[in-house]
Amino acid sequence: MAESTIWWLLAGTAIAIELITGTFYLLMLAIGLAAAALAAHAGGSMTVQLVTAAVIGGGAVAAWSAVRGKRPSEQPASSNRDVNMDVGETVHVDAWNADGTTSIKYRGANWAAVAAGGTVHAAGAHRVREVVGNRLVLEKI
């Protein structure tokens, strides 16, 4: 069996395992294995093939780690407007209970609501900061 065939089989195996496990880093390593297969097609020695696989695969993993590290962390689903359509909506609070809760009419239903930390318990317009379970967390506008 040709050396390039072995590299292609290893690359395919890494991709198959990546599809099963969802580990994106295996895909980066598969790029290195494919680069080694191309080096074998070009007639490179086994040393050149191994160094190519290590440098390209390791470099791709390092580059992906650097890209992921620079991205801002995602918001939790309870306060992410892309996940929860209620976040950012405006509601009206008539009065607050002594325990810091209130009941408001929102989207045609009664909702339990609490004030966000550091928010004054005052009647009036509030914005939904997040949804925790079946409670809205409100901040004064």
Tens digit of pLDDT for each residue in 85-123? 888 889 999 889 888 889 998 888 889 999 888 777 888
- In whole angstroms, give the CA distance from residue 125 to residue 114: 14
- Band the pLDDT of 36: cuts 50, 70, 90: very high
Quick one: 60 and 108 in the same domain?
no
CA 54 to each of CA 34, 35, 49, 51, 115: distance values in angstroms, whole numbers, following the listed order: 11, 10, 9, 5, 54
Quick one: 65 and 46 in the same domain?
yes
- Band the pLDDT of 8: cuts 50, 70, 90: very high
What is the domain range of residue 121?
A: 80-140
Quick one: 98 and 60 in the same domain?
no
Q: What is the pLDDT of residue 58?
A: 95
Q: What is the pLDDT of residue 20?
A: 94
- Band the pLDDT of 52: cuts 50, 70, 90: very high
Quick one: 45 and 85 in the same domain?
no
Average pLDDT over residues 71-83: 75
**Residues 125, 126, 132, CA angle at the centre, nearest 5°?**
155
